[in-house]
Structure 1
Amino acid sequence: MLRGSLACGAGACGGDDLEFMTCCPTVPAGPGECCPGPCTSQTCGAGVFRTLRDVALLAEPTVQQRITGCACCPGELRQIQFQLVAGRPHALRPAVTVAEGVHWPPPTPDDECVQWSTDPGCLDEAGECAAQQPQPCPLDPNCPPPVLPTLPLPDNPCLCEPFTRRQVCVEIPENAAPIWADLVPLLEIYSGSGILRNIRFRFYPNPFGAPYEDLDPCSWCSEINISYLPSGARLTMDSTRRTIYVQCPGRADTPAEQIVSGPQGRPLDWPVLECGIPYLACISADSDTIAADASVTLRTIVREA
């Protein structure tokens, strides 16, 4: 049992998933009090199961006590002690599906017509959002702060802004997580019958449940960019393990961190949704590359400290 389900070798020694119960559920006195029909540990204790990631054995089992002569249990019983360690510190609730197999809307005439701007002062979206940020108070002009050197940051040169995007948004409800815990997404993208380029996820805090058109376009709190997916591929981003991989038909699962980045091609900052408020998740991609059968699935997982 303590060996887990993962065979050692090829990087599989990082630990396994451990499912446990936070308390011993109360078994009802009679049928129907917990759920229709006979009650089981799964149906009566559905709310108390948690999962720990990357769990491994820290100290081998040792026998603490031997019990013999039990009338109901012939033979010898042994009380055993052992220690486990979890590589990920959070206890995870079961995943909740927010949206499954959602397709992008069909193209509109606006997707075919690009309006060009010849204004030399025109800013892109990132520049407009930066210009809206409040400026700091002016300090002593005779004693300016020291100028720090600009540090180089890695970026994704394959990421570019397409002429037109198509977008679909899904709501993450307020009761998806308690206020004292946080929420992380599990994303799945299927490219369908064509390649998919310049995919972008944005998460917007939406405490008043406003539609996307009424939200400040600069108010997103997390952004994920995926530069490319081949035809028939499925990308999975697991925020609980912080792993990204692509599945292609007839091929082995492939790590895909190199095609995923944060805002403006910068390193990815894994999204964490907090404060127990509703969010709006909006997924867009290059309109010219979205196949009719391309789809997105979003699940959320509550993390408890």
Structure 2
Amino acid sequence: MGVFASCPTGDGTGELRHLYGVALLNGPQLTSVRRLPEGITAEATFTVAAGISWIFREPLQTLTNWVTLSTGSTVSVDPDEVYGDCEEAAPCLEDPLCPPPFLPVRAPVPVDSCYPTGVAQFYRNVISLAPMDQPEWLEAVPVLELETGTTALRRLVVRFWVNPLGSNCTQVADPCGVCTDIQIPYLPAGSKLVVDGRTQTAEVDCPQGVLGTSSGSPTLYGPLGGAFEWPIFTCATGLCIEILATTATTSATAKARVLLVPRSDVG
């Protein structure tokens, strides 16, 4: 459902708000009807409820362009290696004469056989968002949209880095600055993907010839193949968004874009 926070000005996008999972509880009931030279106007009352308790604005206009994946730079990397070494300041209050107790040995975490690992050659595209382009007082969630084109796409990685200084995103590589990943092992040819942080849903529409299309939920992985958690950016830190797609499986027409949508609490 779309509503206006105030009387719209210009094209109205600045005042437009969106709610999701909306259903009518009761009504509508007409309270008045007026006949004017231009036509008939009516006032009505009704009650609706939103299943998602956030009010969303329009996506930030600085992140609306599509990126053709095959035009990115070519790199040979293991996407998981970025999580290797993160230099952090040593805790200054730990007593060197009283070391903490050893933790018990943990059982190894099983690795899903569908999660791709190892070095591969990727097309790398980088999108930047300056800190000044984010609302300082609102949270924001990402929306990933992708079209695979003529071939099936295997091993897609979309990675978010914080960039508070607005540095050149092609040179950002601090492992401590990595926020999270969206990793998807496989997308069919001709399919359209939407990973929507507003509704926290992921859906792929696949062509089925004369039968039209079918829809399904793709398997999403987080960093190092772990469980995926929906990213929420709570402050205006600036972002570098890195998209990695394997060169061997990326169609010349494959394209993607990442939107960032501010949200506010209904309270």
TM-score by length of 1: 0.69
Work out whether 1:83 is the aligned partner of 2:43.
Answer: no
Work out whether 1:252 is the aligned partner of 2:213.
Answer: yes
Work out whether 1:49 is the aligned partner of 2:16.
Answer: yes
**CA deviation vs aligned residue, 1:51-76 (integer Å, no higher than 9, x gap):** 11112234x3497x9779x897xxxx
Partner of 1:296: 256
Work out whether 1:201 is the aligned partner of 2:169.
Answer: no
Give the match's secondary structure for 2:64. strand
C-alpha deviation, 1:176, in angstroms: 3.8
Matches within 5 A, 1:35-74: 43=11, 45-58=12-25, 60-61=26-27
Give the match's secondary structure for 1:125. helix
Matched letter for residue 50 of structure 1? R
Q: Give me the whole-angstrom Cα distance separating, in 2, the residues matched to 1:141 and 1:129.
A: 26
Matched letter for residue 188 of structure 2? P
Asked if structure 2 preserves the Cα contact closer than 8 Å seen for 1:197 and 1:285, the reply is: yes
Aligned length: 251
Q: Give me the whole-angstrom Cα distance separating, in 2, the residues matched to 1:226 and 1:21.
A: 36
Give the match's secondary structure for 2:123. strand
> Per the alignment, do residues 216 and 138 of structure 1 end up closer, same or farther by CA in structure 2, a change over 3 Å counting?
farther
Partner of 1:105: 71
Matches within 5 A, 1:1-305: 18-25=1-8, 43=11, 45-58=12-25, 60-61=26-27, 82-95=46-59, 96=61, 97-105=63-71, 125=81, 128-129=84-85, 132-133=87-88, 137=94, 144=101, 147=103, 150=106, 156-161=112-117, 162-218=119-175, 219-250=177-208, 251-257=212-218, 259-305=219-265
C-alpha deviation, 1:134, in angstroms: 5.0
Aligned-residue CA RMSD in angstroms?
3.5
Matched letter for residue 263 of structure 2? R
C-alpha deviation, 1:246, in angstroms: 0.9
Q: Give me the whole-angstrom Cα distance separating, in 2, the residues matched to 1:185 and 1:252.
A: 25
> Per the alignment, do residues 128 and 253 of structure 1 end up closer, same or farther by CA in structure 2, a change over 3 Å counting?
same
Give the number of the structure whose alpha-carbon radius of gyration is greater.
1
Give the match's secondary structure for 1:269. coil
TM-score by length of 2: 0.77
Identity of aligned residues (%): 25
Q: Give me the whole-angstrom Cα distance separating, in 2, the residues matched to 1:278 and 1:140.
A: 41
Q: Give me the whole-angstrom Cα distance separating, in 2, the residues matched to 1:138 and 1:195.
A: 55
> Per the alignment, do residues 78 and 215 of structure 1 end up closer, same or farther by CA in structure 2, a change over 3 Å counting?
closer
Structure 1 unaligned blocks of 5 or more: 1-17, 26-33, 36-42, 115-123
Partner of 1:7: none
Give the match's secondary structure for 1:99. coil
**CA deviation vs aligned residue, 1:161-182 (integer Å, no higher than 9, x gap):** 3422221001224344310002
> Per the alignment, do residues 155 and 253 of structure 1 end up closer, same or farther by CA in structure 2, a change over 3 Å counting?
farther
C-alpha deviation, 1:204, in angstroms: 1.2
Structure 2 unaligned blocks of 5 or more: none
Partner of 1:3: none
Higher strand share: 2
Q: Which stretch shifts more, 259-268 or 206-215?
A: 206-215
> Per the alignment, do residues 67 and 252 of structure 1 end up closer, same or farther by CA in structure 2, a change over 3 Å counting?
closer
> Per the alignment, do residues 138 and 292 of structure 1 end up closer, same or farther by CA in structure 2, a change over 3 Å counting?
farther
Using CA pairs under 8 Å that are at least 6 residues apart, name the structure with larger relative contact order, 1 or 2. Answer: 2
